[in-house]
Amino acid sequence: MLGQMQNWPLLVSKLLESGEVNHPNREVFSMLPEGGEFRYTFKDLALRARKCAQAMERLGIEKGDRVATLAWNTHRHVELWFAGSGMGGVTHTVNPRLFPEQLIYIMNHAEDKILFLDVTFVPLIEKLAPMLETIEHYVIMVGREHMPETSLPNVICYEEFVEAEDGNYEWPQLDENTACGLCYTSGTTGNPKGVLYSHRSNFLHTLTVLQKDVLSIGAHTVILPVVPMFHANAWGIPYAALAAGSKLVLNGPHHDPETLHMLLMREKVTMTAAVPTVWMQMLRHLKENDLNCGELKDVTIGGSAVPRSMIQTFQDDYGVRVNHAWGMTECSPLGSLGSENSAVAELSNEEKLDVQCKQGRPVLGVEMAIKDDDGNHLPWDGKSSGRLMVRGPWIVESYYRSGETALDDEGWFDTGDVSLMDEYGFMQITDRAKDVIKSGGEWISSIDLENEAVGHPGVAEAGVIGVYHPKWDERPLLCIVEEDGQTVTKEEMLAYLDGKIAKWWMPDDVVTVEELPHTATGKISKKDLRDQFKDYKLPGT
C-alpha cells in the first residue's frame, strides 16, 4: 500500500523560494573580483536568479545543458548557480585552481555549453578557449564598466545579460531525480572524475546540514563560507543559508587572513568553514596582531585532518568551537561531523579533545562500514582499521559518463580512506589508502605523524611520506615548513615526537622545506611530495 501524501518534488529552486518567501530581507554580502563590495537581500537574489534563468533560456540553454562556472564565492555566483540548476540545467562549478590541462579535460568531458567566468579568469580562459570544444558563450561576470578587452568569442556582459529580463519566471516542476550540479574530483590519481548531483540528493543533503548538531546553521547565523563553491558546493552552505535564513558573507577572491578577519569582525560572522590551511594562516595572524574573533562561535574544518593544536587554540584562546567534519566530492560532500553525542559529553576535556581530533560520527543519511581488502566487515572496536565504505541518498552511484557502477556488490562506495570506528561511533581516518606507509608489513599513519609534528610551536606545516627502505620496504620521512624566524633541527623534532608516537613510527629522517605542494582542494599533495623525494636516500641506507 502506498502512502497518500503529496508528491512535492525535492528541488533546489524550493530552497531559494523558501529564502525569498520566509526571509526576504536577510542580507547577502559579497566582495567583488573587480574590486569593491556589494550588498542585497534574499528577495533580490531570488529575483536575479529568475532573471538569469530567463536570460539563459532566451540564449538557447536547454534542460540538461551543462552550465559551467569559473568563479569565486560571490552573490553573482550564487544567483547563477541556483539559476542553472533551477531551470533544469546542470551547474558545473569548475575549480580554477586545477592545472590548465585538467581544466580543458573537465570542460570538454562535461560538454559545457556556456561558461560564466569572473573577470580575473579572462586571461586564463583566453589561452584555453581554442581547446574548449563545446562552449558556445562566455559570460564575464561584471557590469559594462568593468568589461575587459578580450579575444574570447561570443562574449556577454553578465549584468546586461541578467538585467535585460524582467524576472517574470516560474521555476519548472522537474522530476526530483533530475541532474542538478556537477563537480569533478581533483584527480589526485588519474583524470578527474565527475560527480553528478541530483535535485533530490542536494535537497536531502541540505536538510541534514541544517540539523542542530551538524553545522550550527539557523536563522540567527551569519555565515562566511570560505570554502569555495567549486569545492563540493561550498559544503552545501549556500543552499542551507537560503533555506534557514542565515546571512551569507561571501569573500570573493580574497583568502588572505587580513580580509577574512575584517569580514569576521565587520559583518559579525558567527559561523565559518574552510580547510585547515586557511585556519593555520588565520591563527598566526590573530596571534601576531593580538586580535580576537569577534562574535564567531563555530568553525567547521574539514578536507584534511585537523591537528589537535588547532582545535585547542581555537577553543581555549578564542572561545570558538571546532566542528571537525569529514566528507568528499562523492558525498556531496558531508559524511560525518564531530559534534559530541551524549556519551562523549561525559568525558573529561582532554578525552573530548581526543574525540574531536577524529573525523566524527556519521550524519543521518550516511551509513558507514569498515571492510578489509577481501570485503569482510570489520568490527567498530576502536582498533580494526580498513577501507571506509559509505552509502546513502547523496553518495555517488556512478561517475559521470563512466558507464559503470562505482559501488561494490553490497552497494557500498569505497572512499579510498583507511579508517576505524571507535566505541562512541566516531570514525577516525588513519590515512588515504594510497598514502599509508607500509613498514615491514605494518601500517604507519602519515596523518597521525603530521598532526603530532605540527603540534611543535616551531612547525607551520608538516607532510609525511613513505620512502624506500631496503629492509622495511618503506619508512616515514617527515618534511616540515618552519614558522617564520624559527629553526627546528631534526634532533629537536625527534625528541619532541618521542613518547607521543609508537617507537617504530619514528620518522627515519626530518627535512626542512620552504613549502609543501598542495592540491587544488588545499590538501598536501602527497603525490608531488613523493615525486620530489623519489630519489631520496634515508640515512644509513
| Interface positions with ligand ADP (CB under 6 A) | 185-186, 188, 232, 302-305, 324-329, 333, 359, 415-417, 429, 432, 519, 521, 523
Please tell me the distance from the alpha carbon of residue 156 to that of residue 100, in angstroms, as a whole number: 23
* Residue 151 CB partners (closer than 8 Å, separation 6+): 126, 129
E strand or H helix that includes residue 336? strand 334-337
Active-site residue flag, 178: no
Q: Which of 69, 185, 188, 270 is catalytic?
A: 185
Nearer to ligand ADP, 138 or 399 (CB): 399
Active-site residue flag, 313: no
470-481-301 Cα angle (round to 5): 105
Nearer to ligand ADP, 263 or 447 (CB): 447
Please tell me the distance from the alpha carbon of residue 400 to that of residue 486, in angstroms, as a whole number: 47
Please tell me the distance from the alpha carbon of residue 450 to that of residue 464, in angstroms, as a whole number: 6
Burial class (CB in 10 A: 0-12, 13-18, 19+), 21: exposed
Active-site residue flag, 443: yes
Name the minimum Å distance from CB 235 to ligand ADP.
9
DSSP strands (E only) in 149-207? 155-157, 179-184, 194-198
Name the minimum Å distance from CB 373 to ligand ADP.
18
Name the minimum Å distance from CB 515 to ligand ADP.
19
Name the minimum Å distance from CB 22 to ligand ADP.
31
Nearer to ligand ADP, 215 or 305 (CB): 305
Q: Are 468 and 509 in contact (CB under 8 A)?
A: no
Nearer to ligand ADP, 178 or 188 (CB): 188
Active-site residue flag, 405: no
Q: Which of 438, 442, 489, 504 is catalytic?
A: 438
Dihedral of alpha carbons 403, 407, 413, 414, sign: negative
Nearer to ligand ADP, 228 or 253 (CB): 228
Nearer to ligand ADP, 307 or 365 (CB): 307
How far apart, in Å, are the Cα atoms of 481 and each of 322, 344, 436, 463, 519?
24, 34, 21, 9, 17
Quick one: how many helices (H) and strands (E) in the chain? 17, 25
β-pairing verdict for 386-391 and 271-274? unpaired
Name the minimum Å distance from CB 228 to ligand ADP.
11
Q: Which of 79, 159, 267, 330 is catalytic?
A: 330
Fill in the DSSP letter of residue 379: P
Name the minimum Å distance from CB 519 to ligand ADP.
5
List residues with catalytic annotation: 185, 330, 438, 443
